[in-house]
Amino acid sequence: MKFFVDTADTQEIADLAETGLLDGVTTNPSLIHKSGRDFMEVTKEICGLVHGPVSAEVVALDHEGMMREAEVLRRIADNVCIKVPLTIDGLKTCKKLTGDGTMVNVTLCFSANQALLAAKAGATFISPFVGRHDDNGFDGMDLIRDIRLIYDNYAFETEILVASIRHSIHVLESAKIGADVATMPPAVIRGLFRHVLTEKGIEAFLADWAKTGQSI
Ligand code: E4P
């Protein structure tokens, strides 16, 4: 499973990229607002920090406007992935852009039928929002399971990019289901490394090592 980080904080991205485990980045207008940075400038900087896809979202609602914005965004770097909303205009834009060889991430997916439409439109990634789905009384993981089944039934190549992840159980369940990508807030990625028994084990080993009086 690929790991993307869901942030526009370049310091966090640079730190996580150093682990060698980061496969890409997703951003959205709210994350750009949170960064306090210029959209074009921060997107360019992020594209230089990772080799993998960097999702940058259009804000126009009509197909022509989305195409105009995508044109500007895709000139930023080769690893820009254009993020479009799951609407009729968004999917028209997706079909056009992927037909031209541009990566597209279709965002704000909340149903398996929407995911089916995105795959038919040739999306590179579909982003089902599991956390927001849970918040509204649905099971986000059921959505991932349904999309996996449908995509496998028809051998669609669109990658399932699990979004709106809130905690490590979302990551674990996504991996068990066979989702292709998980995009996570930095804190969730860092949390995956930790286990109380790992920490206690290190502490105990170091205490015993100190008693040996040796060094390496
Ligand atoms: C993904 O591409 C989205 O930017 C993101 O995962 C949304 O997460 P949120 O529901 O925590 O805002």
The phi, psi pair for 127, rounded to 5°, reads -110, 90
Query: What does the pLDDT read at residue 136?
Result: 97
pLDDT interval class at 129 (50, 70, 90): very high
The set of long-range contacts for 30-38, using a CB threshold of 8 Å and a minimum separation of 24, is 31/6, 31/7, 32/8, 34/8, 34/9, 35/8, 35/9, 35/10, 37/8, 37/10
Q: Is 197 exposed, middle or buried (0-12, 13-18, 19+ CB in 10 A)?
A: exposed
Q: Is the beta carbon of 29 within 6 A of some atom in ligand 1?
A: no
CATH code, domain with 102: 3.20.20.70
Q: Output the CA 6–ligand 1 centroid distance in Å.
A: 7
Q: Is 57 in the pocket of ligand 1 (CB under 6 A)?
A: no
Q: Which domain holds residue 40?
A: 2-212
Tokens representing 29?
A: 């207008």
CB of residue 174 inside a 6 A radius of ligand 1: no
Which residue has its alpha carbon closest to ligand 1 atom 1? 163
Q: Share the mean pLDDT of the chain.
A: 98
Active-site positions read 83
What would you report as the CA-atom Rg of the chain, rounded to the nearest whole angstrom? Answer: 19
What is the tens place of the pLDDT at every residue in 139-160?
Answer: 999 999 999 999 999 999 999 9
Q: How many domains, the chain? A: 1
Ligand 1 pocket check for 6: Cβ under 6 Å = yes
pTM of the prediction?
Answer: 0.97
Residue 121, amino acid: A
The tokens describing 103, both together, are: 């990566």
According to the model, what pLDDT value does residue 158 have? 98
- Which amino acid residue places its CA nearest to atom 9 of ligand 1? 164
Cα gap 57→192, rounded to integer Å:
27
Whole-angstrom distance between the N-terminal and C-terminal Cα of the chain? 36
* Closest CA relative to residue 81, chosen from 178, 188, 161: 161
Instruction: Respond yes or no on whether ipTM tops 0.95.
Output: yes
pLDDT average, residue stretch 21-42: 98
Average pLDDT over residues 171-180: 98
Q: List the residue whose alpha carbon is closest to atom 12 of ligand 1.
A: 164
* C-beta of 26 in contact with ligand 1 (< 6 A): yes
